Amino acid sequence: MKKVLFATGNEAKVKRFKDKLLNKGIDLLSLKDLDISLSVEESGTSAVENALIKARAYHDVSNMPVMAMDDSLYLEKVPDELQPGLYVRRVNGKSLSDEEMIEHYSNLVKNYGVDGKIIARWVYGLAIINGKKEETYTWSKTNFWLVDTSSSVVNPGYPLNSISKNIKLNKYFSEMTQIDQENVQEQEDDVIEFIAKNV
């Protein structure tokens, strides 16, 4: 079975891909599994650039195939200076806890949303380094609102799922079932195929 290191400290992100990659014969390892900890300055100007920076740093220390991911968030009708962009968890230089993120983004919706919601868009970047080969992939999700009222169901590591609703189902992401995800094609099969092909 192939082994690949996922360069993230977010265990929820590892869980997001682990089972799907196991079905492809890939064992996704976390930083915790290998007891690796680095401080990497993410100085890129896009999610995919930051993913590459992380992948290179962790590849250098692990000497094994590495994947890294970053994301950016854009909110309709929110002023440019308040757009999260690449700094979804970092606000005014501070790294927010899950609870603080829910509060911060709920307040943005209250201030700039219409009827308690804002159309939002995630842009993701993924980088894989396998030996000397570097591959990148980017995709986005635009089928959701951020809302000003939180679900009681919180996904640790993915706090914004508690204030994000799928537009088609009008349902919180944190409350979606496997069938819901299949119905709205939240499986990210294209991402899994990209990873499987390049590790």
* Cβ density class 7-20: b for 16+ within 10 Å, e for less: bbebeebbebbbeb
Cα atoms in the Cβ-side hemisphere of radius 13 Å centred on 116: 8
Can you give the C-alpha Rg of the chain in angstroms?
17
Determine how many CB atoms are found less than 10 A away from the CB of residue 35: 6
Cα atoms in the Cβ-side hemisphere of radius 13 Å centred on 193: 4
Which segments of 2-132 are extended strands (E)?
A: 2-6, 26-29, 66-75, 90-91, 94-95, 117-130
Q: Which of 116, 163, 125 has its CA nearest to residue 144?
A: 163
Which residue out of 70, 180, 189, 190 is catalytically annotated? 70
Q: Does 70 participate in catalysis according to the annotation? A: yes
Question: What gap in Å lies between CA 37 and CA 127, rounded to an integer?
Answer: 19
Catalytic positions, please?
70
